Amino acid sequence: MNQSEENQKLILNYVKKNCARTGLQTHHMPEVTEAVVGGLTNHLNVLKRPLCPCQFYSDKEEAVKERTWLCPCDDMKQYKYCHCLLFVNSEGNPITEYLPKDHDGLTTYGLVTDPAPEKGRKGQRIPAEANTAENVSVREAEVSPAA
């Protein structure tokens, strides 16, 4: 097995473990998952780190040093939101429930609740009150377009 194949195996193992840890799944369209896994593997091969392949970087080496976009990215750790659509709910949507009101993800996807609020990543900051039905209703009202 060459280094690239080993790195792909590492990424696939990480993806499987992260799905179990977060209660999410990979995208139901295999080509989405394959593209993201391929990009992560390529960055692991070249940069020695799994830099998110779904962002544009003027300087990838600097992005690695900053660590914001190393998979799992800061948004995934903090809000359980995956820009790449690698970690999603059963409909293929990223979790937006914990995002700040002004985050682009809420504008794009609307409110997408967490199918496994009891699960997450170490260091993930999920406010306890975010899981109540009352707060979910408030969040829905905040992101729903006016009728």
CA distance 98 to 11: 26
Secondary structure (DSSP) of 46-93: HHSS-B-TTS--S-HHHHHHH-TTBSSPHHHHHH---TTSSSB-TTS-
Tokens found for residue 93: 């949507």
**Rounded Cα gap, residues 81 and 95, in angstroms:** 5
Active-site annotation holder among 52, 54, 71, 73: 54
Can 52 be counted among the known catalytic residues?
no
Residues marked active site are found at 54
